[in-house]
């Protein structure tokens, strides 16, 4: 009977743990290193089924671009993975924004938007229309809109009341800005 050293036993256990690690987990660890930071920001491995890697992409353009370079990417991945992959499929179907991006979007406050009118609840109470009929509801809404827009500056393009933030940002109201962008395209 031969005795093995503790280092040999621990080394064997460590190798066995790496061998038993799911292939997707080992791929996720080296994904950014293999594809680069730019591609990693727009493409994320989702699953490996029957030795085919599924990658979620941020847009159809990224899917198409990565599909063209699929063979070279497959060679790079197979050099790093213990179990070789047969193919790679790219799709936008499972794309989700990273949590950091979602948090950034949630931190934008309403008062930072160019259309923000300020707190008007103290000066002009909003009228909740009673739905006796459609005409009465429309008249209540029209009166509320007139009160809300009474002191707003006018858009130089269409002469509609416009929040000051929109005029500051685009020099016109949002619909006029959208028309200008559409005409420039």
- What are 3-16's pLDDT values in tens digits? 777 777 777 766 66
Half-sphere exposure of 34 (CA within 13 A, CB side): 20
**How much is the pLDDT for 10?**
73
- For 15-24, 68-77, 156-165, which range has the lowest pLDDT when averaged over its residues? 15-24
Helix (H) or strand (E) holding 46: strand 43-49
**How much is the pLDDT for 164?**
85
> What percent of the chain shows pLDDT beyond 90?
21
pTM: 0.44
pLDDT digits (tens, 9 = 90+) for 152-163: 888 998 988 888
- CATH code that applies to domain 20-91: 3.30.300.180
42-53 average pLDDT score: 90
Q: Which residue has the higher pLDDT, 112 or 146?
A: 146
Q: For 173, left (φ over 0), alpha (ψ -120 to 50), or beta? A: beta
Q: How far apart are CA 12 and CA 134, in angstroms?
A: 78
Split at pLDDT 50, 70, 90, the class of 128 is low
Q: To the nearest whole number, what is the mean pLDDT of the chain?
A: 79
Which of 127, 147, 146 minimizes the C-alpha distance to 137?
Answer: 127
Please state the domain extents for the chain: 20-91, 114-184
Split at pLDDT 50, 70, 90, the class of 135 is confident
User: Do 6 and 62 form a contact (C-beta atoms < 8 A)?
Assistant: no
Length of the chain: 185
Q: How far apart are CA 31 and CA 46, in angstroms?
A: 11
């Amino acid at each position: 009977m031969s005795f093995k050293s503790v280092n040999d036993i621990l080394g064997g256990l460590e190798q066995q743990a790496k061998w038993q690690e799911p292939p997707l987990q080992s791929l996720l660890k080296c994904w950014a290193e293999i594809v680069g930071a730019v591609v990693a920001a727009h493409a994320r491995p989702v699953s490996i089924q029957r030795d085919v890697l599924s990658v979620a992409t941020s847009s159809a353009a990224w899917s198409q671009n990565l599909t063209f370079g699929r063979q070279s990417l497959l060679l790079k991945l197979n050099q790093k993975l213990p179990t070789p992959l047969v193919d790679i499929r790219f799709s936008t179907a499972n794309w989700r924004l990273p949590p950091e991006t979602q948090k950034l979007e949630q931190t934008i406050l309403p008062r930072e938007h160019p259309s923000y009118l300020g707190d008007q609840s103290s000066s002009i109470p909003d009228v909740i229309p009673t739905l006796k009929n459609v005409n009465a509801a429309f008249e209540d809404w029209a009166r509320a809109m007139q009160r809300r827009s009474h002191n707003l500056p006018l858009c130089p393009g269409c002469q509609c009341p416009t929040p000051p933030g929109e005029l500051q940002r685009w020099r016109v109201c949002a619909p006029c800005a959208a028309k200008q962008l559409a005409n420039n395209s």
